[in-house]
Amino acid sequence: MTGGRCVVRARTPLRISFAGGGTDVAPFPETEGGAVLSATIDRYVLGSLVADDRGSMSVESLDYGVSLELAPGEDFAPDGKLDLVKAAIKRVWREDERGYGIVLSSSAPPGSGLGSSSAMVVTVVSLLNEYHGVAMGEYDVAQLASVVEREDMGIAGGLQDYYAAAFGGFNYIEFGERVIVNPLRVREDVIGELEMNLVLCFTGGTRRSDAIISDQTQRYTRAETDALSGLREQKLLALSMKAALLRGELDDFGYLLGQAWQAKKKMSPRISTPHIDELYEAAQRAGARGGKVTGAGGGGYMLLYVDFERRHKVVEAMEAMGATASGFSFARQGARAWKR
């Protein structure tokens, strides 16, 4: 409590996906079982909730410069203004609500390939749980957040981002009749080497992932050869990369990262673009062992693996082509909320 008000904070990490993306999208998990290898990084969605007696709810996004006021009894109908946040509030709405204001900020915009929209929903769920005194484990938080975006809002996509955000750290996540998160005990020296050798490159634009995912799903449903083989290769590569990571075989890990990108591109022609292909080829010429787009594709961030001694060459090559390249650190904790 601060000055008679209840103040709640929350912080949720964004994620990078190494392999397996797409195998978490229905109907593949139900028919063949999916697997994703991912890790959270030091990019975050931040949230603050201040409760008072205003009798209404306000939400402000610092990234978009958008704010809205929600009156008690409103139907929270989608109107293009912070619809995911409204859907999350509606899910946990209480008739005796006193009122509160929520402020949100993200290190990356939606469509950047770092799972920011899902992390934002996890942040709002975590804020409201802490505010209402509801104890929920990581599985419950992730599952509720997925229901908000995938079912309530009807946005096509996979499940990995919610579980990565809720659990944090390095995880091998399996999807089938239920979701199983396997936290990985990666050696500290391996983590340090990864942080020196990995580069995040912003390709210069965001995209709507649901259109790409819908195309991928339709191709799988029609049993198109490339889509089928791409998804099945992704699943196998997630397992191989997990083994390389745990053994500290990082040269193999970097090579497999590139193989995961080649497999991913088979899933839909919308996943890559001429600009992304040009960036990737330039990165390889400059010394990158492998790399891939970190989300559904079509834009956003590309993850590159390059020996530290050549890293500056890759960064220079990317920036010469108008992209932005930077390093990062891994985040060990998942979503957290606390009262101030």
What CATH number did the domain enclosing 253 receive?
3.30.70.890
Do 11 and 69 fall into the same domain?
yes
229 is in which domain, residue-wise? 188-326
Cα-based torsion angle of the residue sequence 162, 167, 172, 173 in order, rounded to the nearest 10 degrees: -40
**∠ Cα 84 43 6 (to 5°):** 60
Q: Can you give the CATH number for the domain in which 143 is found?
A: 3.30.230.10
Does 336 map to a domain? Answer: no
Q: Across-strand partners of 179? A: 175
Task: Report, in angstroms and rounded to the nearest whole number, the Rg of the chain calculated over CA atoms.
Answer: 20
Do 167 and 25 fall into the same domain?
yes
Do 132 and 72 fall into the same domain?
yes
Q: Which of 185, 203, 237 is the last residue of a domain?
A: 185
267-284: burial string, b at 16+ Cβ within 10 Å, e else: bbebbbbeebeebbebbb
pLDDT the model gives residue 54: 75
- Give yes or no for a contact between 148 and 91, defined as CB atoms under 8 angstroms apart: yes
Mean pLDDT over each residue of the chain, to the nearest integer: 90
Does 238 map to a domain? Answer: yes
Does 200 map to a domain? Answer: yes
pLDDT the model gives residue 209: 59
Q: Is 208 helix (H, G, I), strand (E, B) or coil?
A: coil
Do 212 and 133 fall into the same domain?
no
Do 192 and 260 fall into the same domain?
yes
Do 82 and 169 fall into the same domain?
yes
**Sheet arrangement for strand 198-202:** 290-293, 301-305, 198-202, 324-326
Does 334 map to a domain? Answer: no
Do 175 and 212 fall into the same domain?
no
Which two tokens mark 80? 């293009």
Gap between the Cα atoms of 76 and 235, Å rounded: 38
Q: Which of 185, 200, 233 is the last residue of a domain?
A: 185
Do 157 and 15 fall into the same domain?
yes
pTM for the structure as a whole: 0.92
Do 171 and 44 fall into the same domain?
yes
Q: Which of 154, 185, 216 is the last residue of a domain?
A: 185
Gap between the Cα atoms of 30 and 23, Å rounded: 10
Do 172 and 201 fall into the same domain?
no
Q: Across-strand partners of 198? A: 305
User: CB burial class (10 A; 0-12, 13-18, 19+) of residue 142?
Assistant: buried
Do 165 and 192 fall into the same domain?
no
Residue 254 to residues 20, 244, 259, 293, 304, Cα–Cα distance (Å): 15, 9, 9, 14, 8
pLDDT the model gives residue 219: 76
What is the tally of structural domains in the chain? 2
Catalytic residue among 161, 189, 277, 307: 161
Does 173 map to a domain? Answer: yes
* CA end-to-end span of the chain: 6
Does 263 map to a domain? Answer: yes
Do 172 and 218 fall into the same domain?
no
Q: Is 161 an annotated catalytic residue?
A: yes
Does 123 map to a domain? Answer: yes
Sign of the dihedral defined by the CA atoms of residues 141, 143, 145, 148, in that order = negative
Does 331 map to a domain? Answer: no
pLDDT the model gives residue 296: 66
Gap between the Cα atoms of 116 and 167, Å rounded: 15
- Give yes or no for a contact between 249 and 305, defined as CB atoms under 8 angstroms apart: no
User: Which parts of the chain register pLDDT below 70?
Assistant: 1-4, 72-73, 95, 206-213, 216, 220, 296-297
